[in-house]
Structure 1
Amino acid sequence: MTRSADARLAAYALLAAAGLVAALALRRTELAAVAAPFALLVALGVRSTPPALKAWVDVDRDRAVEGDEIAARVTVRTEAAVDRLEIGLALPEGLELADGANPVALRLAGDEERELELRLRCVRWSAVELGEVWLRARDRVGLVRHEGRIDRRRPLRVYPTPERLRRLLAPAHTQAATGSEVARVRAEGLEFADTRPFVPGDLVRSINWRATARRGSLVVNERHPERNADVVIFLDSLAEARAAAHGTLEEAVRTAATLAGRFLERRDRVGLVTFGGILRWLEPGGGLVQRYRLVDALLETGVEFSYAWKDVNVIPARTLPPRALVIAVTPLLDERSIAALFDLRGRGHDLVVLEVSPEPYLEPGEDPSDSLALRLWRLQRAELRAGFERLGAAVATLDSETTVEEALEGVRAYRRHARLVQR
């Protein structure tokens, strides 16, 4: 623990020294008697030693969801008596005190142990470390304080609250593995596709007996198989729009976590590419383990400033399978990420762009030129969205009035219309 003196200790030391000097100079013993109490207080403060303190922090869990409350217990123990001890648990960003006192001042007797119960509320998704305890003890006369920090930090992951989605996007291509998505090809499956005449090699169970009775010849049913899909979440973290404690990155991470969880529930293989100053990727996979990997990777996403020009060539090939559905969650603010998305579409990837609108975080000025600049900026973004749509990539905008479910419905409508035009 570090030691620091109160301002009163310096004043007392000055008064004691002045009294003793005056007593010696004027040969007046009464002046020395007046200075003696101040000198005694200074001596007590100088001889003060830091108390031997120990502290532990216990948290009831290491994973939570936004809005949850977690219980934390701070235990402190001392060998010698402490007249006044101030204890505070450092709360990282994203956590706030829901119940209890923090910091708190108390008195401890010799060889005493005290427990402090706290309830913490998770207000924002984050990957933090909780358990840093700050201690401050004062001597008996309150002239010297000892401050220290005990590090008992442990990781705590707060997952974003997923939105409810009734339907997901249907990929343009499916994989060979079994899943929940009805494929367009015809093979063994459950979804009825069409009927055709019987040929040698067809299974008896596929015969449609009603159609056979009507036509007088054997007719079999054709079905669509249930396959899975490869889905890659492309999270743009090169730039963001922010106002106070909220920004487009928070909404983008929440949207990406929602989509990843729902696609995994559908038994699809999901991968991740965080396209930012620090490039991170996760190859497509399925199952509960993959879900935790995806969310943990999303929690570590931040806006990292970089001048380096990045394109899709820096992404490992196995991270972007050729028949994968690529869902880009981006504010469309950085030219590098925009160019990378155009490149992905040019290479034939099935691309969907979910634009996290930065407009709610803008504060336009009152000058007429500011209004004109805002209109030009909106026109540029409209032209950018139209450029993606001309290439066959659906674009949907997410803002405070549009949910992910509504945005996906717009994407489905565009893709249905695009297929009708191609036919």
Structure 2
Amino acid sequence: MIDQRTTDIDLRWRASPLALALATCAAVALAAALIGARWQPVVFAAPLLGALVSLGWQRPSPTVRVHAEPGLVRCFEGEQVRLALWATADDGTPVGLTFSTAAGASIDVAGDPSGRIELVLSAERWGRYPITVRVDVVARGGLLAGRAVLGYPVVADVFVFPVAPAQSTALPRTELLDRLGTHMTRHVGRGVEYGGIRAYVPGDQLRTVNWPVSARRGGLHVTERLSERAADVIVVVDTYDQPPGPATQATERTVRGAVQVVQSALRNGDRAGVVALGGQPRWMGADIGRRQFYRVLDAILGAGDGHETTTGTLVPRAAIPPGAVVVAFSTLLDTDFALALIDLCRRGHVVVAVDVLDGAPFDDLDDPLIARMWSMQRAFMYRDMRTIGVDIVLWSNEASSTDGPLDQVMQLVPRRRRAAARR
């Protein structure tokens, strides 16, 4: 079933060009009659004045609704999507539509015999592209003209999702949950990788007996296998307002990195979720499957209503399952976001922050002393956060332009044992 969005229009009514022309002609005729003391111009103005006076006898102003089908469209970068727009009035009055969208999107228009406007939209960069329209309608016998520009709520929403690189992103090296998965561990269990040979003890399954070794050693020996476990991966995205300049440009790496981590986790059979802090905080709990990938994209861009919303500056406890690995993408310029990461570390989670800010957040920085001071300040922040338990790695602009950079950056994260949660 195709989703259809209907928006009621609150029109602003004013005198139409026809009413202004009638009033102007009547005024000129009456003025000529007064100045020239002649009755003929009055006869000319009488029907014009009658048309204007008939305004109160005309049919009431119509109620206009704008329809969009579908009302919410999702696609990836470079893809084309189609949607239909049309407007209806309760008395059948013709309605004119003029539409527009955000910069960066290309729109092709195709007419429809039924009166609909078929739009074909595509965008090369991820983001939200709301469809806004201007409505023009005449009423009261053409004497009134109504106009409305729909800015919010918008008629239709087009969300363009980013395309993540195909490279697999490694998780921080830590103790994983005791759940069947694809990540190799050093724990002995049910797996396929060789873990060692030991003597047989009562209770071992006969299928694990290594008969060649048992024959050589004169006693039963079994083959141990290393277990393969799964993880819960939660991506925390910094959506706080950033200062203009390099910090704003770093948003591109924030979103693409978050999508890449989620995509890699779901491909490996792990559960993945997302938390967006800043503005209106929202989150999507950890789950598996292909549909979860699109739910996470919705939560990152704020599309639809399938995600949960919250208040405050900390990550809700319901959004982070016990023992989850947290990967955060941020410019680390907002103190509230840093405090949220520290709170997650105190709960016992392994927290890794990816710094997407390349250099200082200033435009046209020519003074080398200021650049050096900024670099030292960031190094001190890295040290302080690492002492607390939050590991920070830098994902620079140069690294993001190469193949598989995020995976190489994540390899720099040191191994940490999971700390006990603090109450």
Tell me whether the two structures share a fold, i.e. TM-score over 0.5: yes
| Aligned equivalent of 2:99 | 89
In 1: Cα distance, 2:312 partner to 2:142 partner:
59
Q: Does the aligned pair in 2 maintain the 1:66–1:123 contact within 8 Å? A: yes
Q: Does the aligned pair in 1 maintain the 2:233–2:326 contact within 8 Å? A: yes
Does residue 1:100 correspond to 2:109, yes or no? yes
Q: What is the SS of the residue equivalent to 2:116?
A: strand
In 1: Cα distance, 2:331 partner to 2:143 partner:
55
Cα deviation, residue 24, structure 1: 2.7
| 379-388 or 224-233, which deviates more | 379-388
| Aligned equivalent of 1:74 | 85
Does residue 1:3 correspond to 2:13, yes or no? yes
Does residue 1:340 correspond to 2:340, yes or no? yes
| Aligned equivalent of 2:255 | 253
String of CA shifts for 1:196-252, please: whole Å, max 9, x gaps. 223332222223334344444433221111211122222233342445996444532
| Aligned equivalent of 1:405 | 404
Any stretches of 5+ residues in structure 1 without a counterpart? 107-111, 302-307
Cα deviation, residue 55, structure 1: 5.5
One-letter amino acid of the counterpart of residue 77, structure 2: E
Cα deviation, residue 413, structure 1: 3.7
Number of residue pairs the alignment of both structures matches: 394
String of CA shifts for 1:348-383, please: whole Å, max 9, x gaps. 5322111121648631356x5xx5434322221122
Cα 1:240–1:215 shift into 2, 3 Å: farther
One-letter amino acid of the counterpart of residue 70, structure 1: V
Q: What is the SS of the residue equivalent to 2:378?
A: helix
Cα 1:133–1:391 shift into 2, 3 Å: closer
String of CA shifts for 1:140-190, please: whole Å, max 9, x gaps. x99863335798946654333222223422541111221111232111211
Q: Does the aligned pair in 2 maintain the 1:71–1:117 contact within 8 Å? A: yes
Q: What is the SS of the residue equivalent to 2:398?
A: coil
Q: Does the aligned pair in 2 maintain the 1:171–1:350 contact within 8 Å? A: no
In 2: Cα distance, 1:318 partner to 1:113 partner:
49
Q: Does the aligned pair in 2 maintain the 1:271–1:283 contact within 8 Å? A: yes
Cα 1:206–1:242 shift into 2, 3 Å: farther
Q: What is the SS of the residue equivalent to 1:23?
A: helix
Any stretches of 5+ residues in structure 2 without a counterpart? 1-10, 304-310, 418-423
One-letter amino acid of the counterpart of residue 210, structure 2: N
Does residue 1:117 correspond to 2:91, yes or no? no
Cα 1:206–1:376 shift into 2, 3 Å: same
String of CA shifts for 1:232-286, please: whole Å, max 9, x gaps. 2222333424459964445323322221232122121223333335444444333
Q: Does the aligned pair in 2 maintain the 1:175–1:229 contact within 8 Å? A: yes
| Aligned equivalent of 1:324 | 324
| 21-30 or 252-261, which deviates more | 21-30
Q: Does the aligned pair in 1 maintain the 2:360–2:371 contact within 8 Å? A: no
Q: What is the SS of the residue equivalent to 2:189?
A: coil
Does residue 1:373 correspond to 2:385, yes or no? no
One-letter amino acid of the counterpart of residue 76, structure 2: V
* Aligned with 2:36 (options 19, 22, 26): 26
Cα deviation, residue 137, structure 1: 4.1
Cα 1:339–1:315 shift into 2, 3 Å: closer
| Aligned equivalent of 2:163 | 161
In 2: Cα distance, 1:274 partner to 1:347 partner:
19
Q: What is the SS of the residue equivalent to 2:177?
A: coil
| Aligned equivalent of 2:420 | none
Q: What is the SS of the residue equivalent to 2:23?
A: helix
One-letter amino acid of the counterpart of residue 231, structure 1: V
| 272-281 or 26-35, which deviates more | 26-35
Q: What is the SS of the residue equivalent to 1:381?
A: helix
In 2: Cα distance, 1:40 partner to 1:245 partner:
65
| 47-56 or 59-68, which deviates more | 47-56
TM-score norm. by structure 1 comes to: 0.74
Q: Does the aligned pair in 2 maintain the 1:171–1:229 contact within 8 Å? A: no
* Aligned Cα root-mean-square deviation (Å): 4.3
Q: Does the aligned pair in 2 maintain the 1:94–1:124 contact within 8 Å? A: no
Q: What is the SS of the residue equivalent to 1:254?
A: helix
In 2: Cα distance, 1:245 partner to 1:354 partner:
14
Cα deviation, residue 389, structure 1: 4.2
Cα deviation, residue 70, structure 1: 0.7
Does residue 1:17 correspond to 2:19, yes or no? no
How many percent identity over aligned positions? Answer: 27
Q: How does 1:260-279 map to 2 (within 5 A)?
A: 260-279=262-281
Cα 1:116–1:336 shift into 2, 3 Å: closer
In 1: Cα distance, 2:58 partner to 2:12 partner:
12
In 2: Cα distance, 1:414 partner to 1:259 partner:
15
